Structure 1
Amino acid sequence: MKFGFWLPIFGGWLRNVDDENMPPTFEYAKTVIQAAEQWGYDTTLIAELYLNDIKGPEQDSLEAWTTAAGLAAVTEKIEIMTAVRPGFHNPAVTAKMAANIDQISNGRFTLNIVSAWWEEEARQYGGIFTAHDERYDRTEEFIDVIQGLWKEDIFSYKGKYYDIKDAHLSPKPVQRPNPILYAGGESERGKQVITGKCDAYVMHGGTVEEIRGKIQGMKERRAESGKQPFSSFGLAAYVICRDSEEKAQEELKRITDVKESSAYAGYNDFVNKSQLEQQVKLYDYSVSNRGLRPNLIGTPEQIAERIIEFEEAGVDLLLLQFSPQLEEMERFAKQVKPLVEKKRQKTKA
């Protein structure tokens, strides 16, 4: 199991808590990622939204790609997975930027392909927002272009959305044949594109049984496509680790006390403009990316046991959220991770 975390670029993950003591600044992000390297975390995921979906559109948030480039220069080991949404990017320019950050990081840059869901954000920032399946049609061409530029010396492409003529890209990415392309999607069209074009599958939070079914389904799709198996299955999850189960449940109650605020501005678009496999209620939406559903809530022992269950279901990358980020990441690294390894060794024995 690899352990990753969402970089705190929105000021937190809790829609019902105003101040989580994790400011959306580059200095705080740098402090978090450098500490994470020391604590043995493998990956950080940098979400891409131009409006703050967690604390409200009027609140501060960091831009993903400039943040990624800055952090690539001040880290040494950790994988930097950055989201990219085709409706906001030129694919040829994106391929060039990604190759450059991969050079800066010496082969640690990867992409999370996201087809977008927030119509209001697209309106404010001039993004292209279309019907659900058409967004994935664009995504498919977008991936063709970036991969072609990474692989070919001279690349041309003629599609419905993109027209590239005799393009040169140099230097190429350090990673060959290309940086890992992660993607998540629950609709039929999304799964088709991911199966055919991407390297790894990432999932919103879910129960062990839900995730086991998703992984099995994607493995079968991949096998039927004739492609190599997915390199990784990742899962988003929010962690509440406390000395007792009672204290963990108290914290859960505190953060899910739903309050009406602009933090829920994107809720309707997320629910209605994404084709989700599980119904999302305001309780689930209290924490981003359905992070409560995996139930990594309780004592270090309880959380470690649940992680082993997810590992047995096929998850090999956890993308974790914490609040406050720095303190809870350290607690997890020092109290939970050793127990996971201990339980794994015990199971093997």
Structure 2
Amino acid sequence: MKTTRDDLAEYRRRHVPLYNGNRLKLGLFAMNCSNGMIISKAATSQRIEWDYQLGLAQKADALGMEVFLPVARWQGSGGEIDYMGTNYETHTYAAAMAASTSNIMTFATVHAPIIHPIVAAKMATTIDHISGGRFGMNVVMGWLTPEFAMFGLAQRDHEARYDYGSEWMDIIDRLWTESEPFDHVGTFHRLTAAQSKPKPIQPRPVVFNAGSSPTGARWAARHADFNFTSFGTVEDAQAYSTSIRATAREEFGRELGVLTFAVVICRDTEAEAQAVLDGILDDADWVAAENWMSTLGLESHSFDAHMFGEMKRKFIAGAGAARIVGTPEQVVEQLKDISDAGMDGVMLGFLNWQEELDYFGERVMPLLKEAGLRG
């Protein structure tokens, strides 16, 4: 019997961490890539080594966080640090984390044009079984042309990427739900007797997508369960959240969550936190930052010198994410502002991941509970 949307919603409310009662969901993001969200030569204790990474997942799990979300990269962004150039592949990473945690959701980031939908569906199901129904898939269409060249693939134009992604996701949804083999003849795939058994434990594993262009946001509204986005101001966040949720509801009859990401620099005093931020900026890898920005279409010739310089400073500590800096009390205030602006959750990054995650758990999590953001 086919699962209805009401059935899926009820299952998720009962069993899926991202649908629990916490007003503000929390997770870690980009920890599997060197330098995480900080494009700087500043000293960091982060290591792309298994014991270190496993420790992060288990700490986040023990703190009750909902999401552990790695980034899929195949090469770095150059500069002195070769930003994100050392990284773990996300499916094998998620599978191992799933077997080593109890409650947190483990995600894989999937480049749809690189991984065949039958393979993607089967890997997702396998990890969902390993985790007992805690797997999620962050679907990306890819934007780094040099990475595609590594695979001998040509980058499609922007609209075609999402056309491909729609066909890819439709195939996966059928593989997850249909009991009989099916043929598929589409624009991008021709499949004969496509099938995948067993089915996932979840009626449908949770799908993230970070599309924010008009085409990308519409794709997320149709296919994703959560849109993953950045924003300039909390007013921007509120407007975007309202708009994309309305698109999902009115055009596709779906409920869409919205998440964002942030670098957190939290210390006992505001001055200490600001000093850490200043150190990150003082040791910035400007070449890597410009390379990263250019992959997002943010070129120096598009802005005046001052605006481009300020934008680069934002990308140094955050790679485009929100920047949350201050005392534990100030961090909670800023997280509350983000929640009030319509974000369902924030995926966090740090300079020194394990130490700062411990501090966040000891000093910030209790205050989030007092503020009514966490149960």
Do both share a fold (TM > 0.5)?
yes
Q: Secondary structure at 1:266's aligned position in 2?
A: helix
1:110 is paired with a residue whose SS is strand
1:161 — aligned with what? 188
CA shift at 1:99, angstroms?
Answer: 0.6
1-side partners of 2:32 and 2:217: how far apart? 28
State the 1:57 CA deviation: 6.5
Q: Kindly indicate whether the alpha-carbon contact (under 8 Å) linking 1:5 and 1:319 is maintained by their aligned counterparts in 2.
A: yes
AA of the residue aligned to 2:87: S
CA distance in 1, matches of 2:292, 2:125: 32
Give me the whole-angstrom Cα distance separating, in 2, the residues matched to 1:319 and 1:57: 19
**Residues 1:90 and 1:129: Cα distance change in structure 2 (over 3 Å):** same
- Residues 272, 221 of structure 1: CA spacing in aligned structure 2 closer, same or farther, 3 A cutoff? same
- Distance in 2 between residues matched to 1:261 and 1:148, nearest whole Å: 44
* Superposition deviation, residue 88 in structure 1: 1.1
Which residue of structure 2 aligns with residue 46 of structure 1? Answer: 70
Name the structure 1 match of 2:352.
324
Query: CA offset at residue 27 of structure 1?
Result: 2.0
Equivalent pairs counted in the alignment come to 339
- Alpha carbons 1:204, 1:289 under 8 Å: kept: no
Q: Deviations over 1:209-254 (max 9, x none)?
A: 1111110111221122141211x22111110101111111111121
SS in 1 for 2:343: coil
- Find 1:99's aligned residue among 112, 125, 138: 125
- Percent identity over the alignment is 27
SS of 2:113's partner is: helix
RMSD (Å), alpha carbons: 2.4
How far did residue 157 of structure 1 move? 1.9
3-state DSSP of counterpart to 1:281:
helix
> Which whole-Å CA distance do the structure 2 matches of 1:322 and 1:30 have between them?
16
Deviation string, structure 1 residues 276-301 (Cα, Å, up to 9, x no partner): xx98921122134412x3x4111111
| 1:21 alignment counterpart | 45
Are the counterparts in 2 of residues 205 and 236 from structure 1 also a CA contact under 8 Å? no
In the alignment, structure 1 residue 70 sits paired with structure 2 residue 100: no
Residue 35 of structure 2 corresponds to residue 5 of structure 1: no
Deviation at 1:39, TM superposition (A): 2.1
- Pairwise CA distance, 1:272: 5.0
Unaligned runs of 5+ in 2: 1-23, 300-306
Report the 3-state secondary structure (helix = DSSP H, G, I; strand = E; otherwise coil) of the residue aligned with 1:297: strand
Give the deviation of 1:130 after TM superposition.
1.6
Q: Secondary structure at the match of 1:265?
A: helix
1:338 paired with 2:366, answer yes
Amino acid across the alignment from 2:187: K
Equivalent residue letter for 2:236: E
Amino acid at match of 1:37: D
In the alignment, is the contact (CA less than 8 A) between 1:235 and 1:317 conserved in 2?
yes
The equivalences for 1:127-206 within 5 A come to: 127-153=153-179, 154-176=181-203, 178-206=204-232
Preserved contact between residue 81 and residue 112 of structure 1 (Cα < 8 Å)? yes
1:190-219 per-residue CA deviation (whole Å, 9 max, x = no partner) reads 112111122111112542111111101112
User: Equivalent residue for 1:229?
Assistant: 255
TM-score, scaled to structure 1: 0.90
Q: Residue type of the partner of 1:251?
A: V
Query: Per-residue deviation at 1:334?
Result: 1.5
3-state SS in 2 of match to 1:271? coil
Unaligned runs of 5+ in 1: none
Give 1:211's aligned residue. 237
Change (3 A) 1:53 1:75: farther
Q: 2:276 aligns with which of 237, 248, 251?
A: 251
Aligned mates of 2:126, 2:34 — CA distance in 1 = 28
2:334 to 289, 306, 316: 306
